Chain A
Amino acid sequence: MTQIFRRLLVLLFIAAPVSAFAQEPLQVDITRGNLDPLPIAIPAFIDDGSDNARGADIASVVAADLESSGLFATVDESAFIEEIRDFNLRPRFQDWRLINADALLIGQVTRQADGRLLVGFRLWDTRLQEQLIGLQFVTAPENWRRVAHRVADAVYEQLTGETGYFDTRIVYVSESIGPRGEPMRRLAYMDQDGANPSFLTDRSYWALLPNYSPSAQQITYVSFLDGQATTYVYDLESGRQEALFASGGTGLARIDPDGQSLSARFSPDGEQLAVSIELQAGHDIHLFDLRSRSLRRLTQHPADDVEPSFSPDGERIVFSSSRGGGSQLYVIDADGGGDPQRISFGEGRYTAPVWSPRGDLIAFVKQSGGQFSLGVLDADGSGEERILFRGYYVDTPAWSPNGRVILFTRGERGREGTEYEIWSIDLAGFNLRRAPITGQSSDPAWSPLIE
Chain B
Amino acid sequence: MRTAIVILASLLLHAGFVVAGLFYFPHAVNQFTTSQIVPLEFIDDIAPMTNLPEEEEEEEFVEEEAPAPVPEEEAEPETPPEPEIDLQAAPETEPEPEVEDTPVEVAAETPEPEVTRQPETTPQPARTQNRDTLDDLLGDLANVVDEERSSSPSRNQNRGAQSSEAIGVTLADSIRSQAQRCYRSSIDAPDPERLIVVVRVRLNRDGSLDGQPDILNRQAIDASGDRYWRVARDRARAAIADCAPYRLPAEHYSIWRRIDVTFRQET
Contact = CB atoms under 8 A, between A and B. Distances in A.
Interface in B119-156: 121, 124, 127-128, 130-131
B58 A196 contact: yes
Nearest to A187: B71
Nearest to A451: B53
A212 to B, nearest CB: 15
A239 B72 contact: yes
B187 A199 contact: no
B7 interface: no
A237 interface: yes
Contacts of A36: 184
Contact of A137 (B50, B102, B265): B50
Query: Binding site of B, secondary structure by majority: helix, strand, loop or mixed?
Result: loop
B45 A134 contact: yes
Interface in A114-139: 120, 122, 125, 127-139
Given A35-B187, A150-B52, A25 B200 contact: yes
A382 to B, nearest CB: 14
A28 interface: yes
B164 A16 contact: yes
A193 to B, nearest CB: 15
A377 B68 CA distance: 44
Interface string A157-193: 1111110000000000000000000000001000000
A27 B76 contact: no
Interface string B176-206: 1001110111111110000000001000000
Interface stretch (A140-148, A260-268, A307-315, A317-325): A140-148
B183 A203 contact: no
A38 B185 CA distance: 11
A202 B66 contact: yes
Interface stretch (A88-96, A294-302, A333-341, A392-400): A88-96
Given A136-B49, A239-B72, A23 B164 contact: no
Interface residues of A, number: 81
A281 interface: no
A197 interface: yes
Nearest to A37: B184
A120 to B, nearest CB: 6
A158 B184 CA distance: 14
B238 A28 contact: no
A30 B183 contact: yes
Contacts of A20: 164, 167-168, 254-255
Interface string B37-62: 00001111111111111110111110
A428 interface: yes
Given A34-B183, A127-B241, A239 B255 contact: no
Contacts of B251: none
Interface string B152-168: 00000000000110011
B47 A26 contact: no
A21 B256 CA distance: 11
Contact of B74 (A30, A143, A239): A239
B188 A35 contact: yes
A366 B126 CA distance: 58
Given A146-B52, A196-B57, A138 B75 contact: no
Contact of A128 (B91, B172, B234): B234
Nearest to B244: A127
Nearest to B239: A33
Quick one: which of B71, B127, B227 has the most chain A CB within 10 A? B71
Most chain B CB within 10 A, of A29, A143, A234, A358, is at A29
Given A131-B44, A161-B231, A98 B185 contact: no
Interface in A337-372: 358, 360
18 contacts: A26-B260, A28-B176, A29-B262, A30-B180, A88-B93, A89-B94, A90-B99, A125-B238, A127-B238, A128-B237, A135-B89, A137-B52, A138-B50, A143-B54, A161-B228, A199-B60, A202-B71, A202-B72
Interface of B: 41-55, 57-61, 63, 66-76, 78, 84, 86, 89-96, 99, 102, 114, 118, 121, 124, 127-128, 130-131, 163-164, 167-168, 171-172, 175-176, 179-181, 183-190, 200, 226-232, 234-235, 237-239, 241-242, 254-266
Given A21-B254, A138-B51, 7 more contacts: A26-B168, A33-B185, A89-B93, A129-B102, A136-B86, A143-B53, A146-B55
